[in-house]
Structure 1
Amino acid sequence: MAAGEGTTASIGKSVQIRGEVKGSEDLLIDGLVEGTITLTESRLTVGATAKVQANVSARDVIILGHLQGNVDATGRVELRSGAQLTGDIRASRLSIEENAGFSGKVDLIQSATAQAAAAKR
């Protein structure tokens, strides 16, 4: 296992960040983040107490709290019960649980492997 694999960085409830967040490991946000979040090869989890105003680009995005901004995921986006998302979603898979709020557009894209399989048919 390479260094950093299997670990999750965390932004606590009392932490406020304004600006650009970039990284190559999974990230859990429970505090306030305003700006942009880029985790191209990693998973972002917006915790139940989080308030995020940012455009997000990540492999997978799981939302339990509040996110205002566009979400671009190469993998899946999950809106869990209690989540509030205002913004557009672009992802290959989307899951929305009961009692999750969403306002915006959805663009479901095919992953490279799904496109290759469709091309062989």
Structure 2
Amino acid sequence: MLAELDVPGVRFSVLLSEDGLRIAHSGNITRDNADRFAAAASGLRSLGKALGEFCGGLGDNVRQNVTEYDQGMIFITAAGEGAVLGVSTTAEVDVALVAHRLNELAARVGHELGAVPRRGGARP
């Protein structure tokens, strides 16, 4: 499914659990870097939740984070219960096209592959 994000300007995509574990990745990224990206994307998503109250809500319903850098952008989008999609792009990407494809894919992933959140607690 991640191959659907193969549009001009997309470097790679990573499907991760909300707690930062890589589930799958595609594009020009190694598994180790995809693991690092997943952990960082989860952290950025958490920061977005903390800022949500300043948008008039409780802060726990972040739909999408978009961070722009000199050489590209990072999109992080909720993809169902416990799953998140992250995408890295170049600076020349069509932002509207990537956001559209990302939201379509997030809806499919949420429906088909939603990751079950891990629960804390002692093991027997």
- TM-score normalized by the length of structure 1: 0.24
Instruction: Say which structure is richer in strand.
Output: 1
Higher relative contact order (CA 8 A, sep 6+): 2
Comparing both structures, which one devotes a greater share of its residues to helix?
Answer: 2
